[in-house]
């Protein structure tokens, strides 16, 4: 048996003591963990040391490159057209990928959107699309390339070959209290996106109660770290910091978010969903060399809808089929007249999860018809008895716990809150 060139304990001690891990040792650590030589307990200790002491920019770059090197690397060079992707750090009611991918593809930029499933109070893009009868998330690489060439947009599950080291480390972080370490978050996200092979990447980094990052300063640090990783890897990358204090749009769930996305593609839909979709599309198109196109017009005149329908059909979905409807609903009403001053994204997200729209474990199924429809947003005037939220579920026994999550999650006052745009900052290299 060949002797290993480094010792995991030495790597752990270096980071524990606030030092810099040598490049070769860090690359070895990731490779040895992927091979099973470095134990979970050792990598957990290293992850905790990173959480407590951070990493320098070069260290994060090396960590990311090592995770990319643990698996395959895709290339879209054969398409003969630019590619652009988007990643969101997750939120409540965040269905932006659904209208965004076909909208960008309408302008001749291929969108290889490798997406995931929801966990906890944040929804997953694949869960939403699986509300559509027949639609399938799993595509082979050949199917992926063919659809990008023909339709221009794909939303599908990421293959197991991309950054397998990240899959192991992500699961470990989840059970060791090290999820919040910014170097580990950034390298986790960017290793998969860089390995995917896209030319350009736009990051939607959310902050607020319904987001992973609760305050804007932490979100900015994460965004800057990821943009730097993109630049270091030759991927044109920008980030938008967006507000997730209030749910995005008026639908939180799966099937109801698909309906809302179709409304946006038809030229309507909630203003905040349209605002963010257009902002992200402009970023993606500018990075892909299409800075002067009229994005909003492609929503208004039906071009993006045509691409959506082709995209859904290409993955065996029926864009005209009825979406699942809930068996039971429960409506909450305003107890007084006034102005909605607050509608907490986290409370709404947890309630939708408890209704069956999300999952507690990766293997849990979701109820596609479950969720919450919002009838008002902060700043809206209401009368006593007016509908505020409608909860949907297949099992009425789920309403009680969902209502617990909504206790104190919304308020009605006398003065409208200040309105601020959903996009707060733009970060580039």
CATH at residue 343: 3.90.1170.30
By three-state DSSP, how is residue 1 classified?
Answer: coil
Per-residue model confidence as pLDDT tens digits over 125-166:
999 999 999 999 999 999 999 999 999 999 999 877 889 999
Q: CA 427 to CA 202: how far, in whole Å?
A: 10
- Domain edge (last residue) among 273, 292, 320: 320
Say whether both 315 and 286 belong to one domain.
yes
Write down the pLDDT at residue 358.
87
Residue 119: which pLDDT band, with cuts at 50, 70 and 90?
low
Element (H, E) at 85: strand 84-88
pLDDT digits (tens, 9 = 90+) for 66-94: 999 999 999 999 999 999 999 999 999 99
Q: Is 121 a catalytic residue?
A: no
Which of the following is catalytic: 87, 117, 193, 206? 87
Q: For residue 355, what are its two tokens?
A: 């209704």
Q: Would you say residue 114 lies in a domain?
A: yes
Split at pLDDT 50, 70, 90, the class of 51 is very high
Let me know whether 24 and 153 are in one domain.
no
| Band of residue 363 on the pLDDT scale cut at 50, 70, 90 | confident
Residue 140 has a pLDDT of 93
Average predicted confidence (pLDDT) for the chain: 95
CB atoms within 10 A of CB 176: 16
404 within a domain of the structure (yes/no): yes
Q: Which two tokens stand for residue 240?
A: 């938008």
Residue 397 is classified by DSSP as G
Considering the domain boundaries, does residue 201 fall inside one?
yes
- Which strands sit side by side in the sheet containing 338-343, from one edge to the other? 381-382, 338-343, 410-413
| Catalytic member of 94, 127, 166, 373 | 166
**Residue 173 falls in the annotated catalytic set:** yes
What is the C-alpha separation between 136 and 312, in angstroms, rounded? 9
The predicted-structure confidence for 180-194, as pLDDT tens digits, reads as follows 899 999 999 999 999
Residues 213 and 361 in one domain: no
Question: How many contiguous H segments (helices) and E segments (strands) does the chain have?
Answer: 16, 13
Give the model's confidence band at 231: pLDDT under 50 very low, under 70 low, under 90 confident, else very high. Answer: very high
**Both 258 and 404 in a single domain?**
no
Is residue 192 flagged as an active site residue?
yes
Selected catalytic residue, list 192, 290, 330, 398 = 192
For residue 167, is it within any domain?
Answer: no
**176 phi/psi in degrees, rounded to 5:** -125, 10
Dihedral sign from CA coordinates of 356, 391, 255, 131: positive
Number of domains in the chain: 3
Within-domain flag for 428 = no
Q: Which residues of 353-371 are buried (b: 16+ CB within 10 A; e: fewer)?
A: bbbbbbbeeeeeebbbbbb
User: What are the contacts of 19-22 at 24+ separation with CB within 8 A?
Assistant: 20/56, 20/59, 21/59
| Active-site residue, selected from the candidate residues 188, 191, 392, 405 | 188
**Bridge-based pairing state of the strands 328-333 and 371-374:** unpaired
The CATH code of the domain that includes 84 is: 3.40.1030.10
Within this chain, do residues 131 and 277 fall inside the same structural domain, yes or no?
A: yes
132 and 202 fall within a common domain:
yes
Calpha distance 109→282 (Å, rounded):
12
Domain range spanning residue 31?
8-69
Tell me whether residue 150 is in a domain: yes
Run of H or E residues at 164: helix 164-174
Strands 381-382 and 338-343: antiparallel
The domain that contains 19 carries what CATH number?
1.20.970.10
Percent of the chain residues past pLDDT 70, beyond the cut: 99
The alpha carbon of residue 428 and the mean position of all alpha carbons in its chain are separated, in whole angstroms, by 19
Chosen domain end from 277, 301, 320: 320
Q: Catalogue the E-assigned strands of 95-152.
A: 111-115
Per DSSP, the three-state class of 411 is: strand
Indicate whether 144 and 227 sit together in one domain: yes
DSSP-derived letter for residue 396 is G
Looking at the domain assignment, is residue 57 inside a domain? Answer: yes
User: Based on the number of CB atoms within 10 Å of its own CB, is 242 exposed (0-12), middle (13-18) or buried (19 or more)?
Assistant: buried
- Two structure tokens written together for 333: 């009403």
pLDDT digits (tens, 9 = 90+) for 251-282: 999 999 999 999 999 999 999 999 999 999 99
Q: Measuring CA to CA, which residue among 14, 34, 35, 58 is closest to residue 231?
A: 58
In a domain, 168, yes or no: no
Using CA atoms, how far apart are residues 429 and 427, in angstroms rounded to an integer? 7
**Using the 8-state DSSP alphabet, how is residue 202 labeled?**
E
Same domain, 271 and 370: no
Confidence of residue 98 (pLDDT cuts 50, 70, 90): very high
| pTM recorded for the entire structure | 0.95
Q: Is 330 a catalytic residue?
A: no
Q: Given 271, 298, 320, which residue is the final one in a domain?
A: 320
The string of DSSP codes covering 24-80 is HHHHHHHHHHHHT-S-HHHHHHHHHHHHHH---HHHHHHHHHHHHHTS-----GGG-
Handedness of CA 150, 155, 160, 165 (dihedral sign): positive
Instruction: Verify that 360 and 211 share a domain, yes or no.
Output: no
50 pLDDT above the threshold of 90: yes
Given the residues 61, 95, 121, 173, the one annotated as active site: 173
Q: What dihedral angle (degrees, nearest 10) is formed by the CA atoms of 364, 370, 376, 382?
A: -120
Per DSSP, 115 falls in state E
| Tokens representing residue 162 in the block | 């991309």
Strands 423-428 and 387-393: unpaired
- Residue 86 sits in the same domain as residue 58: no
The pLDDT of residue 321: 97
pLDDT range class, residue 360, cuts 50, 70, 90: confident
Residue 203's DSSP bridge partners are 87, 239
Q: How far is CA 70 from CA 24, 82, 303, in A?
A: 15, 26, 40
Average pLDDT on 330-340 reads 97
- What is the H or E stretch that residue 243 is in? strand 236-243
- Establish whether 87 is a catalytic residue: yes
Same-domain status, 222 and 287 = yes
349 and 276 together in one domain: no
């Amino acid at each position: 048996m060949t002797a290993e060139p480094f010792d995991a304990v030495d790597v752990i001690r270096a980071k524990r003591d606030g030092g810099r891990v040598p490049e070769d040792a860090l690359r070895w650590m990731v490779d040895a963990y992927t091979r099973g030589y470095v134990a979970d307990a050792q990598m957990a200790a290293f992850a905790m040391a990173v959480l407590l002491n951070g990493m320098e920019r070069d260290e994060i770059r090396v960590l990311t490159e090592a995770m990319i090197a643990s698996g395959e690397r895709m290339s879209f060079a054969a398409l003969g057209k630019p590619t652009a992707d988007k990643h969101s750090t997750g939120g409540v009611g965040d269905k932006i990928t659904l209208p965004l991918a076909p909208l960008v593809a309408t302008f001749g930029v291929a969108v290889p959107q490798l997406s995931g499933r929801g966990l906890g109070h944040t929804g997953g893009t694949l869960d939403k699309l699986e509300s559509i009868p027949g639609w399938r998330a799993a595509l082979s690489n050949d199917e992926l390339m063919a659809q990008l060439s023909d339709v221009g947009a794909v939303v599908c599950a990421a293959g197991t070959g991309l950054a397998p080291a990240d899959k192991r480390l992500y699961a470990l972080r989840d059970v060791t209290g090290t999820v919040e370490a910014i170097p580990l978050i950034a390298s986790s996200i960017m290793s998969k996106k860089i390995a995917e092979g896209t030319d350009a990447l736009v990051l939607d980094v959310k902050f607020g109660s319904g987001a992973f990052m609760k305050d804007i300063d932490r979100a900015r640090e994460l965004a800057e770290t990821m943009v730097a990783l993109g630049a270091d890897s030759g991927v044109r990358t920008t980030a938008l910091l967006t507000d997730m204090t209030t749910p995005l749009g008026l639908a939180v769930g799966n099937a109801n978010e698909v309906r809302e996305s179709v409304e946006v593609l038809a030229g309507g839909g909630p203003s905040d969903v349209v605002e963010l979709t257009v902002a992200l599309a402009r970023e993606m198109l500018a990075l892909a060399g299409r800075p002067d196109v009229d994005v909003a017009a492609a929503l208004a005149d039906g071009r993006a809808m045509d691409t959506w329908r082709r995209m859904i059909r290409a993955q065996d979905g029926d864009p005209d089929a009825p979406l699942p409807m809930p068996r039971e609903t429960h409506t909450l009403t305003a107890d007084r007249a006034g102005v909605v001053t607050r509608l907490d994204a986290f409370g709404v997200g947890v309630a939708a999860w408890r209704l069956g729209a999300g999952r507690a474990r990766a293997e849990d199924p979701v109820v596609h018809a479950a969720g919450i429809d919002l009838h008002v947003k902060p700043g809206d005037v209401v009368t006593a008895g007016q509908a505020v939220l409608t909860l949907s579920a297949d099992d009425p026994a789920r309403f009680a716990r969902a209502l617990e999550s909504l206790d104190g999650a919304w308020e009605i006052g006398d003065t409208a809150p200040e309105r601020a745009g959903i996009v707060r900052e733009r970060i580039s290299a």
